[in-house]
């Protein structure tokens, strides 16, 4: 479980080194504003496309072979980003990196098929620790590395860690995996992808979980892109290392993920999800008082990150409670919706800051958190009926 969770952390982190480094990357390539926002936006949209086209294969093809292929793709994309001398090449490599980032969304489904149903929430929480460490640790590590050694150093470290995954994961995953009944006819790839739509129509709670996570993840990305631009602005005057230190403080939230999973097992994932939405709303409201104080900013960051990480645990617990034979496809629907929202929010975060500064980021965060709260309450009512 530890190695699988940390593998998720490394694979997730690769796509988010850009967030604390967005200002120095822009300076190095001579771009700014909306054009610079295309890097994280295209990365997230390419990730959604990759998950749509590749993740369903996890229900049919040996997961070990898939993971090795995807991690190798990440390795090559990171190497291209670390050595890129042209902004267009950097954007293309970042998009390819997103397209190949399937591992952290395949491994949780792989693991939950191997535990008892009454432990799914708890195990999902443990796997989510890795995802949260990757999301926040990438900001902490990249911020500090970028400040002292230049932005490319973060991508070199990411390349080395991804190479380590290529060595470790083949050793701990099953070589022979029974994924289907041989007496059943083999589905074509087109039929496999087409089967997503009937699942969406017959399981509205899956669609709602994806929408909630799209809003939650969008809130997270827009906020952290805004923080990266705000703290390093002339008005605040801090370096990118301070963004890393703030992210490092927020990493402490990973310790509550297993607790969030156990809570979802105990009271029901829908009820737990509504409680986590309250935490995100409180975090968004507290941003109003952060202003120019980096110390006050810590509190809303902690609330919003706790609520966001726990919201993901609750949503995944709902999905992983479904039939194992379609679990990877359920994750596909969930993650695609999530990253389409993430891609749009990445662009929205940089565009909002360029338009209205920190106040615009606060406004965007309040809108996202309010929508999350409303849909979480609707999901609770839907579950009861």
More confident residue, 62 or 343: 62
Residue 209: its pLDDT value, please?
Answer: 87
Helix (H) or strand (E) holding 247: helix 240-250
Domain for residue 179, yes or no? no
Q: pLDDT confidence of 73, banded at 50, 70, 90?
A: very high
Residue 271, classed as helix, strand or coil, is: helix
Token readout for 69 is 């292929």
> Residue 77: which domain range?
2-172+188-384
Q: What is the mean pLDDT of the chain?
A: 82
Percentage with pLDDT > 90 across the chain: 16
Which residues are CB-neighbours of 251 under 8 A, at least 6 positions away?
A: 132, 133, 136, 137, 140
Residue 102: DSSP 8-state: T
Residue 69: pLDDT above 90?
Answer: yes
Angle between helices 327-384 and 103-112 (to 10 degrees): 70
Give the CATH number for residue 280: 1.20.1250.20
| 122-131, 147-156, 284-293, 318-327: range with highest mean pLDDT | 147-156
Q: How far apart are CA 20 and CA 40, in angstroms?
A: 11
CA within 13 Å, CB half, 48? 19
Domain for residue 263, yes or no? yes
Quote the distance between the C-alpha of residue 15 and its chain's center: 9
Angle at 129 between CA 124 and CA 134, to 5 degrees: 125
Residue 11: its pLDDT value, please?
Answer: 92
Domain for residue 57, yes or no? yes
Residue 331: its pLDDT value, please?
Answer: 79
Using an 8 Å Cβ cutoff, are 226 and 290 in contact?
A: no
Closest by Cα among 124, 78, 80 to 105: 124
| 177-181, 185-189, 374-378: range with highest mean pLDDT | 374-378
Residue 15: its pLDDT value, please?
Answer: 86
pTM of structure: 0.69
Q: What size, in residues, is the chain?
A: 385
Q: How far apart are CA 351 and CA 356, in angstroms?
A: 9
Residue 77: its pLDDT value, please?
Answer: 94
Which residues are CB-neighbours of 354 under 8 A, at least 6 positions away?
A: 33, 34
More confident residue, 159 or 339: 159
Domains held by the chain: number? 1
Residue 234: its pLDDT value, please?
Answer: 65
Residue 183: pLDDT above 60?
Answer: no
Q: Hunting for tokens 């470290």 — which residue is that?
A: 157
Stretch 310-325: mean pLDDT = 77
Residue 56: its pLDDT value, please?
Answer: 83
Domain for residue 13, yes or no? yes
Residue 62: pLDDT above 80?
Answer: yes
Stretch 204-224: mean pLDDT = 84
Domain for residue 180, yes or no? no
**b/e 214-242 (16+ beta carbons within 10 angstroms → b):** bbbbbbbbbbbbbbbbbbbeeeeeebbbb
pLDDT, tens digit, 9 for 90 and up, residues 220-271:
878 877 787 778 776 767 776 776 677 666 666 666 766 777 787 788 778 8
Domain for residue 183, yes or no? no
More confident residue, 261 or 81: 81
CA within 13 Å, CB half, 126? 14
Percentage with pLDDT > 70 across the chain: 90
Using an 8 Å Cβ cutoff, are 212 and 375 in contact?
A: yes
Residue 283: pLDDT above 70?
Answer: yes
Q: How far apart are CA 313 and CA 123, in angstroms?
A: 10
Residue 141: DSSP 8-state: H
Domain for residue 130, yes or no? yes
Residue 97: its pLDDT value, please?
Answer: 93
Domain for residue 298, yes or no? yes
**b/e 309-336 (16+ beta carbons within 10 angstroms → b):** bbbbbbbbbbbbbeeeebbbbbbbbbbb
Stretch 310-330: mean pLDDT = 77
Using an 8 Å Cβ cutoff, are 243 and 250 in contact?
A: no
Q: Hunting for tokens 């958190």 — which residue is that?
A: 369
Residue 8: pLDDT above 80?
Answer: yes
């Amino acid at each position: 479980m530890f190695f699988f969770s940390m593998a998720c952390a490394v694979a997730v982190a690769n796509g988010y080194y850009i967030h604390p480094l967005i200002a120095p990357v822009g300076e190095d390539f001579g771009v700014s504003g909306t054009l610079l926002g295309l890097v994280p936006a295209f990365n997230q949209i390419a990730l959604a496309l990759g998950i749509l086209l590749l993740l369903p294969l996890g229900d049919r093809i040996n997961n070990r072979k898939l993971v090795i292929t995807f991690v190798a793709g990440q390795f090559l994309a990171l190497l291209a980003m670390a050595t890129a001398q042209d902004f267009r090449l950097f954007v293309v490599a970042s998009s390819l990196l997103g397209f190949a980032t399937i591992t952290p969304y395949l491994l949780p489904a792989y693991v939950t098929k191997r535990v008892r149903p009454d432990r799914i929430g708890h195990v999902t929480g443990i796997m989510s620790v890795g995802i949260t460490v990757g999301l926040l640790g990438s900001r902490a590590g990249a911020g500090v590395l970028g400040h002292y050694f230049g932005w490319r150093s973060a991508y070199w470290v990411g390349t080395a860690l991804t190479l380590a995954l290529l060595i470790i994961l083949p050793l701990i995953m099953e070589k022979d995996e029974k994924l289907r009944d041989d007496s059943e006819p083999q589905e074509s790839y087109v039929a496999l992808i087409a089967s997503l739509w009937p699942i969406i129509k017959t399981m509205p709670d899956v669609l709602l979980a994806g929408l909630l996570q799209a809003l939650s993840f969008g809130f997270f990305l827009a906020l952290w892109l805004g923080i990266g631009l705000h703290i390093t602005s002339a008005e605040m005057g801090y370096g990118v290392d301070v963004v890393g230190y703030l992210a490092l403080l927020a990493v402490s939230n990973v310790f509550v993920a297993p607790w969030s999973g156990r809570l979802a097992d105990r009271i029901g994932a829908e009820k737990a999800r509504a409680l986590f939405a309250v935490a995100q709303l409180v975090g968004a409201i507290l941003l109003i008082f952060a202003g120019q104080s980096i110390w006050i900013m810590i509190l809303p960051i902690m609330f919003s990150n706790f609520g966001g990480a726990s919201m993901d645990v609750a949503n995944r617990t709902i999905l992983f409670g479904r039939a194992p034979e379609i679990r990877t496809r359920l994750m596909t629907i969930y993650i695609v919706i999530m990253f389409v929202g993430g891609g749009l929010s990445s662009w929205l975060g940089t565009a909002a800051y360029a338009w209205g500064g920190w106040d615009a980021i606060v406004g965007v965060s309040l809108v996202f958190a309010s929508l999350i709260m409303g849909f979480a309450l609707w999901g609770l009512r839907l579950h009861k009926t």
